[in-house]
Amino acid sequence: MDVETIRARLSALPISEIQYLPETYSTNDDAMAWAQAGAPEGVVVIADKQLKGRGRLGRMWVTQPGTSLAFSMIFRPTLEEIEKLSLFSPLGALAVAVALEDLGLSPEIKWPNDVLLSRKKVCGVLAETVWMGSHINGVVLGIGINVATGSVPDSNVLLFPATCVESELGKPVDRLLLLESVLRHLIEWRKQIRTERFIEEWKKRLAFLGEKVTVQKPDGEITGWFQDVDEHGALVLSVEEQYHTILAGDVKLRPLEE
């Protein structure tokens, strides 16, 4: 990957600026700093290798060079979008899922922010809010995708089984073609983020919907039936005929192990 090739391959997209870093700590850190400094909507930071790729709650995200996609995009949400800010993480997952479907794959979205192939994690999404004083003035959406076999970390560092696009597809994948496709779907679906169709499209790809799941929250675990998601993307869990609404961010879901 080099910046000129990346710019040429993404030239048809309405992206205000592209920064390519062969190596960085975290593209989300870079994009957050750039957003704080006033960068406009549509800036994308791409790295070949991350030394400190981040997941949620201080967890790590492994990005091996030459085999993965790791990038972050800056959004400047409208006031109406700020009311549903929690939908930016689903936006990332939906864009990746649709891009994988374009390749002929059948991805699922693991609520709230993972994309699965064959029920193994192929992508993680990290949405972070940019604050200006007490006002929200941006979202940085970070996406990590395992493309080729070398991208999949050792199972001993994983909380959930992982895979990569090429293993599932059984043939090589052009990383920049996939990047272009994900960004294109991100830009298109973002226009519909407040619509019912957006929630419907996200929901119909959700793994474990209707199944019994365990949700790990900071104050302990809760097991119940994954009934639905609401208009903010929150998970609706039924436990002994009582409904619990669980917001994303600080929780982890897994299917119930029998």
- Positions that interact with ligand BT5 (CB under 6 A): 26-28, 50, 53-56, 59-63, 70-72, 113-114, 121, 124-126, 142-144, 146, 151, 153, 158-159, 162
Dist CA 241 CA 214 (whole Å): 16
Burial class (CB in 10 A: 0-12, 13-18, 19+), 134: exposed
- Of 214 and 238, the one with the shorter C-beta distance to ligand BT5 is 214
- Shortest distance in whole angstroms from residue 219 CB to ligand BT5: 18
- Of 155 and 242, the one with the shorter C-beta distance to ligand BT5 is 155
Question: Up-side HSE of residue 37: CA atoms within 13 Å toward CB?
Answer: 7
Dist CA 199 CA 233 (whole Å): 8
Helix residue ranges, H only, 120-171: 165-169
- Shortest distance in whole angstroms from residue 252 CB to ligand BT5: 7
- Shortest distance in whole angstroms from residue 145 CB to ligand BT5: 8
- Of 162 and 242, the one with the shorter C-beta distance to ligand BT5 is 162
Residue nearest to ligand BT5 (CB): 124
- Shortest distance in whole angstroms from residue 246 CB to ligand BT5: 15
Dist CA 145 CA 68 (whole Å): 6
- Shortest distance in whole angstroms from residue 161 CB to ligand BT5: 8
- Shortest distance in whole angstroms from residue 209 CB to ligand BT5: 18
- Of 243 and 249, the one with the shorter C-beta distance to ligand BT5 is 249
- Of 10 and 125, the one with the shorter C-beta distance to ligand BT5 is 125
Residue for token digits 């920064």? 19
Dist CA 15 CA 238 (whole Å): 42
- Of 72 and 167, the one with the shorter C-beta distance to ligand BT5 is 72
- The 10 Å Cβ neighbour count of residue 119 is 13
Q: For the packed helices 88-102 and 196-203, what is the interaxial angle rounded to 10 degrees?
A: 60
- Shortest distance in whole angstroms from residue 244 CB to ligand BT5: 20
Strand segments, DSSP code E, in the chain are 17-24, 43-50, 68-75, 108-110, 114-117, 120-132, 135-146, 212-217, 220-229, 235-239, 242-246, 252-255
- Of 77 and 142, the one with the shorter C-beta distance to ligand BT5 is 142
